[in-house]
Amino acid sequence: MQAKNTMPEKYHIKTQPVPPRRPRVGKYGVVDWREDCARCHNCVKKACVYDRYRLETEYIRNLSDVDALYFDCRGCFSCVQDCTKGLLCLSVNPVYEALGNSYWTPEIIKTTWLQAETAKIPVSGAGYSGRFAGPGFDSMWTDMSEIVRPTRDGIHGREYISTSVDIGRKPSFLAFDGGKSTDALPPLVSLPMPLVIDMSPPRYGLPKLGPLIMETARRTGLIAIIDSNDWPSDEPDKEQYLPHVAFHLGPGAPAPPKKLLTKMRLVEIADGHNVVERIKELKDVHPDIVVSVRVELNAQGPRRATDLAGFEQVEVVHAVADLNGNELGVKEPRFIKDMIRQIHESIVEGRRRDEVTLMASGGIALPEHMAKAIICGADLVTINLPLMVALECHLCDGCRPGMPCPAKLEDIDFDYGVGRMTNLIAAWHDQLIEVMGAMGMREVRRLRGDVGRAMFFEELEEETFGRLFGTRKKD
Amino acid sequence: MADYLVQERKIEEILPANTLKTCVPQAEVVREIKPAPPRFRNEIAKYVVHRSSDCIRCGKCAGVCPYGVHVYKPGYKYFAAPKNHLCIGPVCEKTDHYCVALCPQGALRLAENPMIEGLGDYRWPADMILATWKMAQTGDIPPEAFGFEYQCGRSGGGFDRLRFKFPDKPPVELDEDQIDTSIELNRRNDGRPKIKIDVPWYGGGMSFGSVSNVTQLSKARAAVAWNTFTCTGEGGYMERLRPYDDHVITQVATGLFGVREETIQRVPIVEFKYAQGAKPGLGGHLLGDKNTVSVARMREAVLGISLFSPFPFHSVYSIEDHMKHMDWIKHVNRRALIATKVSTPTDVDMVAVGSYSAGTHIVHIDGGYGGTGAAPDIAKKNIAMPVEYAISKVHSFLEAEGARDVITLIASGGIRTAHDIAKSIALGADGVVVGTAELVALGCVRCTRCESGRGCPRGIATTDPELSRKMDIEWGTQRIINLYNAWRKELVGILQRFGMRSVSELRGRTDLLMHLDYNNDVGAER
């Protein structure tokens, strides 16, 4: 008789390529001056390895819109250097340079587009080309282990690396009487990866995005937080999404109807003086719901998050910095990684770390940020802007009624939107596995707060160059 | 047969001859410095000279320019395109041969080349690429007049913020030929060969598959000329490398592609690659498009399939396993030195000592910012520490453990210039491994497209037959020979200013370094 396979199904997100709707915004373009052409009939453009000139011609021939130029050159300089008359000149695309902002750099936006299209891990050659270190998450490196850990091959591997996390209170011990647990176990929400989809900032809050985000959450097995006011109560068919939706209840928002709440696994309330009462109100309706408290990371934020973690009734603290990961409302803001470390360490000091789940928001722009935030002490992170970027958003900050949108977000269709966002999450999942594989970690839950798996710029500098060169100058 | 083997034990009776010396006649490559002009028609220049229609073709500009920027061929009606890459730019204004000022019609205009903005990156700025090309072309240090700021990059940390504290006057006046740049690779006194290389660097492992055979052979031939080494990488041992066996390191990596006893027996150094800086903890990547017929045959793999090496060695989970691994190689090749290539985790110092205990001759630490082939972007930037930290850490720990003088410490992962080499040695390395710089010498522009499709559009990192033909071996060899010569000159210049007779004297001399971001207010340890 064949033994029954008891292994749980491996978490896998089904993906397929979703090409962009808009012309690609590449970094380079080639400018030529046709009037000086020697007509040598030996045109290097024909020899372009990437066939970009022919594609450009096709693009121009079929041009239906005048707002997007063709910039898909790969920057190899071959045509520039081989042209008989030296007529070609490579230039950096100004549209590319204008993408995003100082935090959401053009490189981040470009790599996000690529992942949303292909669902693949971005791979390139020629080594690293960026800055030695930088602010925020760029001031830490994840560790790896050399030879003395068990086999692990990342995404290509045979050994399973678990990325699942539990949201909610984890009891520190179990008590049994007569083989039965004497305590009722607190409710837990299990997610297959340490990621939650957060509410979109109001300026990106296109009504048509709601269903796309909910479907993305369903396909990826994740949860999307949406404002309770945005729930389409007149569309009962949407209730199928409720296990993958967490309502955010603003300060004065009423509790959701029992019919809806009992189908949800997680709900979020805004921080306030009556947090405990609101949790009780929700638990009275649906005892198995996990309630998260959303705390803004302003000057008092980390302290407040720590205090909340001290309440017996609080199971999840959702600490939210601004979109760039900065502390809110202060002149010299701290970055989210430092605030998470502070909160995590304070909760550990208060001996409540397993009693509360710490969810971090703000500035999570790349998959490595997810891993690094967890190393700093978060259990999981949330994202919103990366999903907007997956839809080809330029983060141009020009989202106003009547203003042209370079990504034409109002025109997206369901399959495109869900496909791109799903692809991005799948690519992030694979990259999380790669980083964990390199570290020799088998469970993302064990990564939480494990700063031994990271190296911090300040510490390495002090240990190495501080020893040799004394005190570091102030920035 | 090597004398030391005859003296030590009569192993020729028990081992096949090819374990003692390669059977293949070895090729000689002369260390000759000669011009290796750019292989592209229009070399990218820092400055460009524009000629307006006011030009009357009097030829004065061509007559005054000592660099040959203006090309006016007799019998032709018009000037040919200017050789802008020879122009020294605005500093020429102070000379008596400034063409722009001397043009009677005012038809010339000098400007910075706007294309420069699109060339290079933080680690390899445009000036560094252009200067490396210049060195590969001439074999000399780029003249100051060109104004290349090539000794440091713009990454804002590590080597780019370290500077040497040169004395006003050298303590000892030395001629160039009094300065020794050679280093020993075997310091263990274990009866294996005392291999010495003439310069404190050797070529990094780039597999057949990741680069073309022309690139591999050019590297190998330059290694012969400079009495140093090149490395096969993990893609197997090309038969065409055999005339250079004595200057080849063959790599045993986790994928074991093309690794056979026979290939191990060919070489004086065998390198275990446990990890590599560009993708620490992940294993090698060769994407399917580059797995061509010849590559698949060499690697004994299926055509067109992406090849991801496992990580780590599935037979090595401990230092004891590591030692057994080495014993295998040492038994198969009785003359080989063992190099162990590792990445730079937090505990790289302990890994180095462990590897020393297991019997390695060379500990090769590969920092996170290097690499030439395909690597996930997430790994390049985020995993493992930059080599600048690791060198100092390992050097100090080996010293504290009393093992420093019996191990050769080699650093790699972002070594771009002779100044980086000198800084690495001052931080504590004996020598370095270089990779990207060799490719830049061959014309790489760091477009980062080496990994996919047909590979490098410039014919360097590709196995596509058509693209590979863009470069020939003689030219490639000369470019790397020239680059090495320019580097050696720079290194000798640095040693001269410190009054040092040997590059070994520079090792660990952190007191000769300063960091721009520090107050440099402590006496550095020796």
Helices A367-376, A414-439: inter-axial angle, 10-degree rounding: 50
Domain boundary at A98, A125, A145, which? A98
Q: CA of B391 to nearest chain A CA: how many angstroms apart?
A: 10
Task: Please answer yes or no on whether A80 and B461 come within 8 Å at the CB atom.
Answer: no
Please give the domain boundaries of chain B with CATH numbers for all domains. Answer: 175-515 (3.20.20.70)
Q: Averaging pLDDT over each range in A151-160, A395-404, B483-492, which range is the top one?
A: B483-492
Q: Are residues A80 and A160 in the same domain?
A: no
Q: Which pLDDT score is estimated for A33? A: 65
Distance, C-alpha A88 to centroid of its chain: 39
Name the 3-class secondary structure at B159.
helix
Assess whether pLDDT exceeds 90 at residue A283. Answer: yes
Task: Please answer yes or no on whether B392 and A81 come within 8 Å at the CB atom.
Answer: no
3-class SS letters over chain A: CCCCCCCCCCCCCCCCCCCCCCCCECCEEEECCHHHCCCCCCCHHHHCCCCHHHHHHHHHHCCCCCCCCCECECCCCHHHHHCCCCCCEEEECHHHHCCCCCCCCHHHHHHHHHHHHHCCCCEECCCCCCCCCCCHHHHEEECCCCCCCCCCCHHHCCCCCECCEEEECCCCCCCEECCEECCCCCCEEEECCCEEECCCCHHHCCCCHHHHHHHHHHHHCCCEEEEHHHCCCCCHHHHHHHHHEEEEECCCCCCCCHHHHCCCCEEEEECCCCHHHHHHHHHHHCCCCEEEEEEECECCHHHHHHHHHHCCCCCEEEEECCCCCECECCCCCCEHHHHHHHHHHHHHHCCCHHHCEEEEECCCCCHHHHHHHHHHCCCEEEECHHHHHHCCCCCCCCCCCCCCCCCCHHHCCHHHHHHHHHHHHHHHHHHHHHHHHHHCCCEHHHHCCCHHHEEEHHHHHHHHHHHHHCCECCC
Name the residue among A77, A132, A470 with its Cβ closest to that of B518: A470
Assess whether pLDDT exceeds 80 at residue B447. Answer: yes
The token pair that represents B21 in the structure block: 């010396």
Task: Give CA–CA dist B422/A23, Å, rounded.
Answer: 47
Name the 3-class secondary structure at B298.
helix
Q: Which pLDDT score is estimated for B10? A: 47
Cα B214 to Cα A105, A190, A282, B371, B468: the distances in Å are 38, 54, 71, 19, 7
Q: Are residues A332 and A430 in the same domain?
A: yes
List the one residue out of A293, A348, A300 whose CA is nearest residue A316.
A293
DSSP B6: H
Query: pLDDT tens digits for A327-374?
Result: 999 999 999 999 999 999 999 999 999 999 999 999 999 999 999 999
Q: Are residues A88 and A179 in the same domain?
A: no
Q: Which residues of B187-212 are buried (b: 16+ CB within 10 A; e: fewer)?
A: bbeeebbebebebbbbbbbbbbbbbb
Residue at A359 is within a domain: yes
Query: pLDDT tens digits for B331-353?
Result: 999 999 999 999 999 999 999 99
Q: Which pLDDT score is estimated for B371? A: 81
Name the residue among A27, A74, A141 with its Cβ closest to that of B385: A141
- Rounded mean pLDDT, B44-49: 94
Assess whether pLDDT exceeds 70 at residue B38. Answer: yes
Task: Please answer yes or no on whether A468 and B513 come within 8 Å at the CB atom.
Answer: yes
Assess whether pLDDT exceeds 60 at residue B140. Answer: yes
Q: Cis before residue B312, ω within 30 degrees of 0?
A: yes
Residue at A12 is within a domain: no
Q: Which pLDDT score is estimated for B84? A: 93
**Beta-bridge partner residues of B50:** B109
Task: Give CA–CA dist A80/A268, Å, rounded.
Answer: 56
Q: Which pLDDT score is estimated for A285? A: 97
Task: Please answer yes or no on whether B458 and A76 come within 8 Å at the CB atom.
Answer: yes
Assess whether pLDDT exceeds 90 at residue A214. Answer: yes
Terminus-to-terminus CA distance in chain A, angstroms? 70
Contact by Cβ (8 Å): A124, B372: no
Q: CA of A446 to nearest chain B CA: how many angstroms apart?
A: 18
Residue at A436 is within a domain: yes
Name the residue among B316, B450, B467 with its Cβ closest to that of A126: B450
Helices B473-498, B213-225: inter-axial angle, 10-degree rounding: 40
Q: Which pLDDT score is estimated for B49? A: 95
CA angle A192, A196, A198 (to 5 degrees): 165
Q: Which pLDDT score is estimated for A86? A: 85
Q: Which pLDDT score is estimated for A3? A: 54
Residue reference for tokens 């009547």:
A402
- Rounded mean pLDDT, B177-190: 96
Task: Please answer yes or no on whether A77 and B119 come within 8 Å at the CB atom.
Answer: yes
Task: Please answer yes or no on whether A121 and B378 come within 8 Å at the CB atom.
Answer: yes
Task: Give CA–CA dist A57/B514, Å, rounded.
Answer: 54
Return the minimum-mean-pLDDT range out of A212-216, B268-272, B292-296, B409-413. B292-296
Q: pLDDT above 90 covers what percent of chain A?
A: 69
Residues of B in contact with A126 (CB under 8 A): 371-372, 436, 439, 444, 446-448, 450
Cα B250 to Cα A175, A380, B67, B234, B236: the distances in Å are 60, 44, 43, 8, 8
Task: Please answer yes or no on whether A152 and B514 come within 8 Å at the CB atom.
Answer: no
CA dihedral B148, B150, B155, B158 (to 10 degrees): -150
Q: CA of B26 to nearest chain A CA: how many angstroms apart?
A: 32
Q: Are residues A83 and A191 in the same domain?
A: no
How would you classify the pairing of strands A316-320 and A357-361? parallel
Mutate to test the interface with A, among B311, B341, B369, B452 (most CBs of A within 10 A): B311
pTM for the model = 0.94
Residue at A117 is within a domain: no
Name the residue among B281, B376, B518 with its Cβ closest to that of A439: B281
Chain B's closest residue to A82, CA to CA, is B41
Task: Please answer yes or no on whether B40 and A81 come within 8 Å at the CB atom.
Answer: yes
- For residue B21, give every residue at least 6 positions away whose Cβ sits within 8 Å of its Cβ, in sequence order, or none: B1, B2, B335
CB pairs A-B closer than 8 Å:
281
Q: pLDDT above 70 covers what percent of chain A?
A: 94
Residue at A108 is within a domain: no
Residue at A106 is within a domain: no
Measured over the CA atoms of residue B436, residue B437, residue B441 and residue B447, the dihedral's sign is: positive
Residues of A in contact with B379 (CB under 8 A): 434-435, 438
Residues in chain B: 526
> How big, in percent rounded to 5, are the helix, strand and coil portions of chain B?
35, 15, 50
Q: Which pLDDT score is estimated for B323? A: 94
Task: Please answer yes or no on whether A147 and B351 come within 8 Å at the CB atom.
Answer: yes
Q: Are residues A80 and A182 in the same domain?
A: no
Return the minimum-mean-pLDDT range out of A282-286, B54-58, B297-301. B297-301
Q: Which pLDDT score is estimated for B73? A: 86
Residue at A164 is within a domain: yes
**ipTM of model:** 0.93
Residues of A in contact with B348 (CB under 8 A): 146
Chain A's closest residue to B309, CA to CA, is A153
Q: Which pLDDT score is estimated for A377? A: 98
Strands of B362-366's sheet, edge to edge? B201-203, B431-434, B408-412, B362-366, B337-342, B269-273, B248-253, B230-231
Task: Please answer yes or no on whether A76 and B375 come within 8 Å at the CB atom.
Answer: no
3-class SS letters over B301-346: CCCCCCEECCCCCCCCCCHHHHHHHHHHHHHHCCCCEEEEEECCCC
Domain assignment of residue A31, given as a range: 26-98
Task: Please answer yes or no on whether B317 and A130 come within 8 Å at the CB atom.
Answer: no
Q: Are residues A165 and A81 in the same domain?
A: no
Chain A's closest residue to B385, CA to CA, is A141
Residues of A in contact with B519 (CB under 8 A): 469-473
Q: CA of B425 to nearest chain A CA: how many angstroms apart?
A: 15
Assess whether pLDDT exceeds 70 at residue B4. Answer: no
Residues of A in contact with B371 (CB under 8 A): 125-128
Q: CA of A394 to nearest chain B CA: how many angstroms apart?
A: 21
Confidence of residue B15 (pLDDT cuts 50, 70, 90): very low
Task: Give CA–CA dist B286/B207, Å, rounded.
Answer: 10
Residues of A in contact with B71 (CB under 8 A): none
Mutate to test the interface with A, among B78, B85, B378, B450 (most CBs of A within 10 A): B378
Name the residue among A84, A146, A438 with its Cβ closest to that of B282: A438
Task: Give CA–CA dist B124/B438, Å, rounded.
Answer: 13
Chain A's closest residue to B276, CA to CA, is A146
Q: Are residues A83 and A217 in the same domain?
A: no
Q: CA of B305 to nearest chain A CA: how many angstroms apart?
A: 13
Task: Give CA–CA dist A229/A244, Å, rounded.
Answer: 17
Residues of A in contact with B347 (CB under 8 A): 146
3-class SS letters over B276-288: CCCCCCCCCEECH
Residue B458's φ and ψ, nearest 5 degrees, are -100, 5
DSSP B101: H
More confident residue, B110 or A157: B110
Residue at A474 is within a domain: no
Q: Are residues A85 and A158 in the same domain?
A: no
Assess whether pLDDT exceeds 70 at residue B526. Answer: no
Name the 3-class secondary structure at B191.
coil
Task: Please answer yes or no on whether B317 and A83 come within 8 Å at the CB atom.
Answer: no
Name the residue among A78, A91, A471 with its Cβ closest to that of B457: A78
Contact by Cβ (8 Å): A191, A222: yes
Task: Please answer yes or no on whether A144 and B393 come within 8 Å at the CB atom.
Answer: no
Task: Please answer yes or no on whether A460 and B389 come within 8 Å at the CB atom.
Answer: yes
List the one residue out of A89, A109, A409 whose CA is nearest residue B119.
A89
Cα B242 to Cα A320, A336, A415, B30, B180: the distances in Å are 61, 56, 56, 18, 29
Name the residue among B314, B369, B385 with its Cβ closest to that of A151: B314
Q: Which pLDDT score is estimated for B13? A: 46
Query: pLDDT tens digits for B207-216?
Result: 888 899 999 9
Residues of B in contact with A132 (CB under 8 A): 122, 155-158, 160-161, 369, 386
Contact by Cβ (8 Å): B474, B384: no
Query: pLDDT tens digits for B270-280?
Result: 999 998 888 88
Task: Please answer yes or no on whether B118 and A91 come within 8 Å at the CB atom.
Answer: yes
- Stated as kind and residue range, the H or E segment containing B57 is none
Task: Give CA–CA dist B335/A254, Å, rounded.
Answer: 80
CATH code, A288: 3.20.20.70
Name the residue among B322, B380, B521 with its Cβ closest to that of A128: B380
Total of domains in chain A: 2
